Structure formats: C-alpha cells, structure tokens
Amino acid sequence: MVFRIFGVVHFVCVGLMLFSGGCKTEVPQGDQAAEKDDGFVALLNGADLTGWEATGKAKWTVEEGQIVGTQGENNAPGDLFTTAAYSDFELITTYRAEWPCNSGVWFRFQSPKKAYQADILDYKKPPAFSGTLYCPGKMFLARNLDKGLENRAGWNTIRIVTQGSKTKIWLNGTQTADVDDDTTDSGKIGFQVHPGAKFGSMKIVIKEIKIKEL
C-alpha cells in the first residue's frame, strides 16, 4: 500500500485508486431504536418508514421488511432521509440493486449542496463504481475503480466510518475511500433514486441499515 499526504488530501492505492479528499437531533421511534449488544442501532424497523421522510417524487415502500426505492411517474427522482441528524458514526448498510442504477447512501446531508454520498453506480467519465465517495460541488473525493468488488446479482454491504473531517468507506470488506474533508460535519442519512429514462428500471433495496455513534 502506498500512502502519501499532500496537505489534507490522502492518495491511497490498494488494487484500486482513491482520490481523497456531533449531534443526533432526534431518535427514531419503534424497534429501530433498540440497542444491540455491539452498540449498533437499527434504523429500519421492518414494518414501515417510521423515522424516515421522503423528498421528491420517487416511490419508497417497505416490502418483506426491506426498504424499496424506485422512480416515480415520468422517471421522477427522489430521496429518503432519516428524520434524525448524526455527526460522528459508523454506518453499515446492506443493499442490492437492479441495474442500470444510480443511487447511493447519503450521510451528513444538510442540503443538496452540502452532503456526502457513498455511491451505488457505474459511472463512465471519469470511471467510478459503487463504493465511490461523492460530494456535491467537488464531484468524486475518492473513486473505486474495481467494478468486481460489487455483487451485481445479490447483496452488498457498505460500511462508512466518519469522525471529524475523516471519512472511510468499505464495500464488501475492501476499503474504497480514505478522505480528509470538512464540507459538512453532521446531517441526515438517506438513499437516492436518480432521475432519467436511462434508470427507469432501477430499484434499490435496503435489507439492513444500522448505526453506532462515535
């Protein structure tokens, strides 16, 4: 592994390429607020979207205990956010997608211009695959260049650890981002459904999402 520091930006090579770059306001109600032995709290109760709120016109439902997101009418986009905001935490999300897909896990989301996203996508120019770290206005802070890290036919796990200005991301156990950036230090967690006919058949399914505040 090669690790170089230029100011506050980290560049890491581990078989892929990385370009690097508290406060909970309310607690979700119901089963998702139950503490686990490992310190994680489930944000999905398996029954409904209690503790979540939708923006835009995408469709968000709970099916067989899982969150399902698809485009709305006329390929309309949308997002689903927690009603609570979080600062420093470890977040684990298990998902699967129907492709072509452009989605992701929002975190520290304050506004469409002030947020981070662990991407779920297949981007062409520049190349970037799921596990990439995106920041509005700065584009990709870290790119995953290894398409094979993701199981396109099944379940995948994104792990995010963010504390202070430091953020790390893992996809299925392989680190894809190690970034020092201070765009936002707290905000909501959420999921995205992208607009456009190209992604008309996309579906994002969330089987598990749990958080441990640091």
Each of the 214 residues of the chain gets a pLDDT tens digit; together they read: 332 333 333 434 334 444 444 444 444 444 444 445 699 999 999 999 999 999 999 999 999 999 999 999 999 999 999 999 999 999 999 999 999 999 999 999 999 999 999 999 999 999 999 999 999 999 999 999 999 999 999 999 999 999 999 999 999 999 999 999 999 999 999 999 999 999 999 999 999 999 999 9
Cα–Cα distance list, 147 to 24, 64, 84, 102, 172 (Å):
34, 29, 33, 14, 12
State residue 19's pLDDT score.
Answer: 41
Burial class (CB in 10 A: 0-12, 13-18, 19+), 62: middle
Quote the CA–CA distance of 33 and 153 in Å, as a whole number.
Answer: 31
State residue 36's pLDDT score.
Answer: 54
Bridge partners (DSSP) of residue 143 are none
Residues 6 or more apart whose CB falls under 8 angstroms from that of 138 comprise 21, 181, 183
Quote the CA–CA distance of 22 and 32 in Å, as a whole number.
Answer: 20
Report the CATH number of the 22-213 domain. 2.60.120.560
State residue 17's pLDDT score.
Answer: 44
Q: Is residue 88 within 8 Å of residue 163, measured between CB atoms?
A: yes
Residues 6 or more apart whose CB falls under 8 angstroms from that of 207 comprise 65, 66, 94, 95, 96, 155
Q: What is the pTM of this model?
A: 0.83
